[in-house]
Amino acid sequence: MALMVIAVKHVASGLKEKLQECMFFFHEAGYRVSLEEKTGKVWSHLFCRLADAGLGDYGGKTAFKGFLAKGLTAYVLQEEALSFLREHIAHNYFYFPQKERDYIENLALRRYAADPAKDEGGQVFAEVQQCLQDYISHYDYVNVDGLIRFRLRMWLKYLRKTLDLVVDDFLLEKEYQEFIKLLKYFVSLQYPKTKQIHVVLNDDGSYLFYDHAFQPALMPGDIQWESFDDLTGSKDDQLVSALVIAAPQRIVLHGDVYLHYPKAVDTLQHVFEDRLVLCKRCKLCQKIKKHTPEGKNMS
């Protein structure tokens, strides 16, 4: 006879489901099995029993514990992650407002759920299963909470790393949104300096500016900003800076500008909103080619 006692703070339906799957497998194989639940003041206990029907041997008991280890692994990785992520957030990121903590929690859960490493066949699943297998092979009593805290530290470290990466992304996004608000405020204070600016690319991927008449655009201060090859900084940032300073009523991005400078286009869309138009290949592109000397060399 084999007996495995599993102690938990609360008996979750997911845990009972995993254990029942194990019981069913051995029942179908001809073994007498039972799953009994006893609720205590602090801990609830699940008693998993296996008794052979003239077919059992030591190998059957070993296999029984192996199936329990696999079921417990699936349960821990699927349903215990939320409570431990919340614990990490409360302990390490308590200074965030509750609304932001909730948002971070949702982001972390989505990132965790999308990682195949914690699914059966993945590295995290294999490591946790091996740890549980080693423990259960020597002991008939498992306290799930204690096992996680003291035996599954590699999984807790994995959870913390997942959470930290999410927080880093969240802070970067928050900083970006603040930057967008600042740019939008700056643009709202300016009177449009020109009716329309077209942005086109030449063969080497650098951009050129033209006004509504398809003539090289004169930017603020009567400086002709045809390209930024000699300026420092990323070309995405340079493109955003030029258009924010120019503050035109309408911006049209032609050709593959959105492919060459996706970061700049995303920022410009947030700042100028419906004042910005993306054009992949329109009649206006052909007109620009015909009306500009550089047009002959543009793709």
Q: Domain of 86?
A: 2-182
What's the pLDDT score for residue 178? 93
Domain end position, chosen among 124, 151, 182 = 182
Statement: residue 112 has pLDDT above 90? yes
What's the pLDDT score for residue 100? 96
What's the pLDDT score for residue 287? 61
Instruction: List all residues 6 or more positions away from 16 whose beta carbon is below 8 Å from its beta carbon.
Output: 35, 37, 46
- Whether residue 187 is contained in a domain is answered as no
Tell me the C-alpha distance between 238 and 226, whole Å. Answer: 12
What's the pLDDT score for residue 57? 54
Q: What is the mean pLDDT of the chain?
A: 84
178 and 200 together in one domain: no
Statement: residue 138 has pLDDT above 70? yes
What's the pLDDT score for residue 224? 41
- Whether residue 189 is contained in a domain is answered as no
Residue with tokens 């903590």: 101
Q: Which of 33-37, 127-131, 248-252, 278-282 has the lowest mean pLDDT?
A: 278-282
Tell me the C-alpha distance between 84 and 150, whole Å. Answer: 13
> What band does 225 get if pLDDT is binned at 50, 70 and 90?
very low
| Element (DSSP H or E) covering residue 2 | strand 2-8
Tokens for 299?
Answer: 């793709």
275 and 176 together in one domain: no
111 and 14 together in one domain: yes
What's the pLDDT score for residue 222? 41
Tell me the C-alpha distance between 229 and 238, whole Å. Answer: 10
153 and 258 together in one domain: no
Q: Which of 98-102, 151-155, 288-292 has the lowest mean pLDDT?
A: 288-292
Question: What is the average pLDDT across 265-277?
Answer: 92
Q: What is the DSSP letter of 62?
A: H
153 and 90 together in one domain: yes
Tell me the C-alpha distance between 103 and 170, whole Å. Answer: 9
Residue with tokens 């047009």: 295
> What band does 288 get if pLDDT is binned at 50, 70 and 90?
low
74 and 108 together in one domain: yes
Q: Which of 107-121, 124-138, 148-162, 176-190 has the lowest mean pLDDT?
A: 176-190
Question: Strand 207-210 relative to strand 196-201: parallel, antiparallel, unpaired?
Answer: antiparallel
More confident: 61 or 170: 170
Q: How far is CA 234 from the centre of its chain?
A: 26
- Whether residue 173 is contained in a domain is answered as yes
66 and 98 together in one domain: yes
What's the pLDDT score for residue 103? 96
- How many domains does the chain divide into? 2
Instruction: List all residues 6 or more positions away from 244 whose beta carbon is below 8 Å from its beta carbon.
Output: 183, 186, 187, 271
283 and 148 together in one domain: no
210 and 178 together in one domain: no
- Whether residue 190 is contained in a domain is answered as no
- Whether residue 27 is contained in a domain is answered as yes
Measured CA to CA in angstroms, residue 167 lies from 7, 88, 100, 267 at distances of: 33, 12, 10, 22
- For residues 255 and 282, is the Cβ–Cβ distance under 8 A? no
Query: Crossing angle, helix 144-151 and helix 123-136, to 10 degrees?
Result: 120
Domain end position, chosen among 131, 158, 182 = 182
Tokens for 216?
Answer: 């090289």
201 and 174 together in one domain: no
Domain end position, chosen among 124, 149, 182 = 182
Statement: residue 200 has pLDDT above 50? yes
What's the pLDDT score for residue 231? 42
Tell me the C-alpha distance between 63 and 139, whole Å. Answer: 14
Question: What is the average pLDDT across 96-108?
Answer: 96
DSSP letter string, 178-203: HHHHHHHHHHHHSPPSSSEEEEEE-T
What's the pLDDT score for residue 166? 97
What's the pLDDT score for residue 131? 95
149 and 212 together in one domain: no
What's the pLDDT score for residue 144? 93
The total number of residues shown for the chain amounts to 299
151 and 248 together in one domain: no
- Whether residue 191 is contained in a domain is answered as no
- Whether residue 243 is contained in a domain is answered as yes
- Whether residue 225 is contained in a domain is answered as yes
Statement: residue 66 has pLDDT above 70? yes
DSSP letter string, 29-54: TT-EEEEEEEE-SS-EEEEEEEE-SS
Q: Any idea what the CATH number is for the domain that residue 271 is in? A: 3.30.420
> What band does 286 get if pLDDT is binned at 50, 70 and 90?
low
- For residues 179 and 187, is the Cβ–Cβ distance under 8 A? no
